[in-house]
Amino acid sequence: MAEKFTREFLIVTVIVSLIVGGSAGVLGGLFLTPAIKSLPLAGKFFSDYERAMIENKTVVSVEEESATISAVAKVSPSVVSIIVSKELTEGLIDPFNPFGPQLNPESGESQRVGGGTGFIVSADGLILTNKHVVSDEAAEYSVVMADGREFEAKILARDFNNDLAIIKIEAVDLPVVNLGDSDALELGQTVIAIGYTLGEYQNTVTKGIISGIDRRVVAGSNFQADIIDEALQTDAAINPGNSGGPLINLSGEVVGINTAVNREGESIGFAIPINVAKQVVNSVKEFGEIVRPWLGVRYQNVTSELAKANEISVDYGALIVAGRTDADLAVAPGSPADKAGLEANDIILEINGVKLDKVTLATEIQKYGVDDEIELKVWHDGEVKVVKVKLEKRES
C-alpha cells in the first residue's frame, strides 16, 4: 500500500510540474488530464484545483464583462459621428471604399467625402476630435448623435501642436463624457475604443489593453503629418472612421483620443493621452480659442547616437536646428527664444529643473501658461548656462 501511494504521488508531482511550468502546452492539457484523474489522489486534487480555477476565472470574466457593458453604456450617448461633405470639382476616391467607383464631381451638390468620430465635452455642444478629421477648410461638417439627431457643425479651433480640434453644434443639455487621468494608466490595463468605424458602423465598440505608454510616433497621411508625443499604444482595434473617438477605461472615463494605426503590424493603434487634450478643452471653454505658450525654436531630440555622430558631449536635450528650407529658421525672429539670446546649435537641457531626457521640449513647455517665466539650462559652445525666458502666446 505504501509503495502504491508513493508511486502515485511521484506521478502527480511530475505532471503538476509540467502543467504549472507551462511545458505541457495545449496538448499536455488534452492528453494528461484524463490520466491524472484516473489516479485516486490526483483525481481528488485536480478536481478541487480545477474547480477553484474555473470558478475564479468565471468570476473575473463576469465582473470584467459587466464593467465593459456599463462603461460603454455610460459613454456611448456622448459619442458622435462626424460627416465630412464638400462639392467636388474632380473625381475623388471614396476613403471608405477605395476599390469602388469614384465619387461623382458633376452632381453640383455637396457629397460625403469622409468621416470620423468625436465626443461631447460640454453640455452646450463642444465636441473634441482629431484635427485631421476636420482639416479641410473647403468642406462642410455635420454631426450625428447616438440617438440619430443630426446637427451642422462649426470648426471652433484646430490645435497647431497636436492632432486635436474642437467643433461646436448648437444644442443644449447634451450628455458629457467624464475625462479620466491618462497619467494613471498602466501596461496591461483594459481599455475600450468607440468610433464610427469605416464611416458606416456608428458607435462600434472594440476592446483591448494598453500595450505601450509614452510612445513617440509620426501619424499622418499624404496630406499632413503630426508627431504624437507620449502616445498610448493599444491593441483595441482602431479602424478608419475611429479617428477622434474616445479610448475609455472600465470606469467609463475617457483616457485617450483614438488617432492612428500602424498598418505594418497587427493590432497596433495609438491614442493621444486625454491629459494632453484637457488643456485644449479648458482653453476653448475659457477663451473661445486654443491659447498656447510659445518659445519659438525648431529642434531635434538629442540621442546617444546623435551625440556620438556629431561629437556632442551631452546625450540628451533639445538641439536647436534649422529646417530643410531657408524659411525654416532655428530660432524665430522676435520670439521669446530670440529675445533670450538662444541660437542654432544650442541644446536645451532642462526646463525649471526638469531634465529633457524622458520628456520632450514641446511637452514640457505646454505645462506652462502665456506670460510664465521659465528657467532653461542650455549647453552653448561647450559650456552650460542658465537662461530665463518669458513665454508668449503663439499666433496660429
pLDDT tens digit sequence for 160-186? 878 999 999 999 999 999 999 998 999
Q: Which residues are known to be catalytic?
A: 132, 163, 243
Query: How many CA atoms, within 13 angstroms, populate the side-chain half-sphere of residue 127?
Result: 36
User: Does 173 fall in a domain?
Assistant: no
In this structure, are 282 and 297 located in the same domain? no
In this structure, are 24 and 48 located in the same domain? yes
Structural domain count, the chain: 4
Distance CA 28, CA 45 (A): 18
In this structure, are 373 and 386 located in the same domain? yes
Kindly state the cell numbers that stand for 163. Answer: 492632432
| Domain-ending residue, one of 243, 264, 287 | 287
pLDDT tens digit sequence for 190-226? 999 999 877 788 889 999 999 999 887 766 554 455 6
- Residue, of 318 and 267, whose pLDDT is higher: 318
Which residue pairs, CB below 8 angstroms and at least 24 apart, start in 355-360? 355/316, 356/301, 356/316, 356/317, 356/318, 357/316, 357/317, 358/214, 360/216, 360/229, 360/301, 360/318
Domain coverage including residue 229 = 178-287
User: Does 191 fall in a domain?
Assistant: yes
Which one, of 387, 293, 310, 305, lies nearest residue 342 by Cα?
Answer: 387
In this structure, are 155 and 191 located in the same domain? no
- Residue, of 292 and 252, whose pLDDT is higher: 252
pLDDT at residue 387 is higher than 60: yes
Kindly state the cell numbers that stand for 45. Answer: 486534487
8-22, 38-52, 62-76, 123-137: segment of lowest average pLDDT? 8-22
In this structure, are 217 and 312 located in the same domain? no
Which CATH number fits the domain that encloses residue 209?
2.40.10.10
How much is the pTM?
Answer: 0.71
- Residue, of 199 and 356, whose pLDDT is higher: 356
In this structure, are 16 and 39 located in the same domain? yes
Which CATH number fits the domain that encloses residue 376?
2.30.42.10
pLDDT at residue 318 is higher than 50: yes
Kindly state the cell numbers that stand for 14. Answer: 511530475
Distance CA 31, CA 18 (A): 12
